[in-house]
Amino acid sequence: MFSFSEENYLKAIFHLERKYQAGVSTNALAEEMETKASSVTDMIKKLSEKELVIYKKYQGVKLSELGDKTAIQVIRKHRLWEYFLVEKLNFNWDEVHDIAEQLEHIKSEKLTQELDKFLGFPKRDPHGDPIPDAEGNFSVANKMLLSELGKAEKGICVGVKDSSSEFLRFLDKNNISLGKEIKVLEKEAFDGSMLILIEERELRISQLISNNLYIKIQ
């Protein structure tokens, strides 16, 4: 089917399309893939020949229907494996991403379906991201960033924007995890920091933190 590299590019384009609906630029892709712009151009040409992306020179890329479908299947596998690692193999949520980066490329439709069934058809991965079903459908939750909340408002923690080990371990250390309620007690206009209430604890967090925590308001 497709190579690891091709699948990784499709996934990257998929994610970047949310931010750049008009088309994903070569440089944006290069940064996301941690590679050089010239390498991106080469790969885009190949993806274009395989009809996975729509590409016109100097105009950026978009996923074709096939590219979109393929990207979603890779993301489905990535998130199912992350769920498996956390729920069945006792991994912490900060340890699973790199292993899922490998597992997402295993080619077997049946494996994916059986894994999904074995896990009980989970709807969200350990970081709160939706897991597409076999048909590629997934619900986009109406979440917002904690930083968007005003004083005295509250919400339930439902996901992370930054899912780096560093950030996740910071959250662990401060006992912040998905499902918990957070109330904004104070908001400092000067630096954007806020004082929050979580499980009867008061905690001061910087804007960098509140900018990377998704919450849902009731």
Partner DNA sequence: ACCTATTTTTAGACTTATCTAAATTTATTT
Partner DNA sequence: AAATAAATTTAGATAAGTCTAAAAATAGGT
Rule CB under 7 A: say whether 202 interacts with DNA.
no
Pairing type for strands 144-145 and 213-216 reads antiparallel
Rule CB under 8 A: say whether 173 interacts with its own copies.
no
Rule CB under 8 A: say whether 134 interacts with its own copies.
no
Q: Toward its own copies, which CB reaches closer, 115 or 209?
A: 115
Q: Which does 97 bind (CB under 5 to 8 A by kind): DNA, its own copies, Mn ion, none?
A: Mn ion
CB contact set of 111 (below 8 Å; sequence gap of 6+): none
Rule CB under 8 A: say whether 108 interacts with its own copies.
yes
Q: Tell me the CB-side half-sphere exposure of residue 42, using CA atoms within 13 A.
A: 6
Rule CB under 7 A: say whether 57 interacts with DNA.
yes
Among 42, 65, 89, 123, binds its own copies (CB under 8 A): 89
Pairing type for strands 61-63 and 154-160 reads unpaired
C-alpha span between 165 and 171 (Å, rounded): 10
Q: Which does 20 bind (CB under 5 to 8 A by kind): its own copies, Mn ion, DNA, none?
A: none
Rule CB under 7 A: say whether 174 interacts with DNA.
no
Helix axis angle for 4-17 and 37-49, nearest 10°, is 100
Give 89's DSSP letter. Answer: S
Using CB under 7 A as the criterion, which residues of the chain lie in contact with DNA when the complex forms?
A: 3-6, 25-28, 35-46, 55, 57-60
